[in-house]
Amino acid sequence: MAQTHFGYRQVDEAEKARHVRGVFDSVAGKYDVMNDLMSAGLHRVWKAYTLAVARAKEGDRVLDIAGGTGDLARAFARQVGERGTVVHTDINEAMLRTGRNRLLDEGLSLPTLLCDAEKLPFASQSFDLVTVAFGLRNMTHKEQALAEMCRVLKPGGRLLVLEFSRVAEPLRKPYDWYSMNILPRLGQFVAGDGESYRYLAESIRMHPDQATLKAMMKTAGFGHVDVHNLTAGVVALHVGIRC
């Protein structure tokens, strides 16, 4: 059986999705408050930047993959208006349900679908824009997921991948110290689950850096890929165009 990483641990490929599901089943209820605490609210700025780069137009068809509690889906729904469509998807029922309830509470009813990014249940060339925020690093076969994202985009459509990335020097050491020491403690204190937040910190270290992800997107079929470093590379936004 092929092996892959789950944080710093080696696990059977077939087991990784189960471990990831355990993490998000556990954190779903506290996900939003933890996001604000761990990033000191910066995740809102990173997402706002993503929306500004996306420039979704009225009437666009947008697919939000690994959409979780729905931050991006909610904002896109306002941009595409009544003529447009935003499909909010995730592989994890607890995350998707939390997001769906939150959107319904705000008066938004979006098509919501439980699905694996590695096997998207959509016709080829059916979306103008595909987004995945902080989801790709949890996927077992990232190349397969990127190829699927490319497949469902119309020619000229764009994929936006917002993800933790490689931090520039001299911030690397303090950032490593913060994420390996403070994050799990914060997770334990607020969500009662330090282990899931240790996984978060480890999974960031194991994720491909900016240049590697750009190359992976090109291999997956994107003709042109731009990289935007945010907060000194703590996060990067990769924008791929399907030619």
Residues of this chain that interact with ligand SAM (CB under 6 A) are 20, 24, 65-69, 71, 90-92, 95, 116-118, 133-135, 138-139
Tokens 């850096």: give the residue.
Answer: 209
Bridge partners of 88? 64, 112
Tokens 């960031």: give the residue.
Answer: 204
DSSP state of 57: -
> Shortest distance, CB of residue 229 to ligand SAM, whole angstroms?
18
> Shortest distance, CB of residue 64 to ligand SAM, whole angstroms?
7
Of the two residues 132 and 167, which places its CB atom closer to ligand SAM in the complex? 132
List the 235-241 sheet strands across, edge first: 112-114, 85-90, 61-65, 127-133, 153-164, 235-241, 224-230
Burial class (CB in 10 A: 0-12, 13-18, 19+), 2: exposed
> Shortest distance, CB of residue 148 to ligand SAM, whole angstroms?
10
Rounded CA gap, 121 and 18, in Å? Answer: 20
> Shortest distance, CB of residue 169 to ligand SAM, whole angstroms?
26
Of the two residues 25 and 176, which places its CB atom closer to ligand SAM in the complex? 25
Tokens 């937040």: give the residue.
Answer: 197
> Count of alpha carbons within 13 Å of 173, Cβ hemisphere only?
1
> Shortest distance, CB of residue 202 to ligand SAM, whole angstroms?
14
Of the two residues 58 and 106, which places its CB atom closer to ligand SAM in the complex? 106
> Shortest distance, CB of residue 233 to ligand SAM, whole angstroms?
18
Q: Which residue is nearest to ligand SAM (CB)?
A: 68
Of the two residues 202 and 224, which places its CB atom closer to ligand SAM in the complex? 202
Of the two residues 141 and 166, which places its CB atom closer to ligand SAM in the complex? 141
Of the two residues 118 and 176, which places its CB atom closer to ligand SAM in the complex? 118
Residue among 46, 205, 234 nearest 131 (CA) = 46
Rounded CA gap, 213 and 217, in Å? Answer: 6
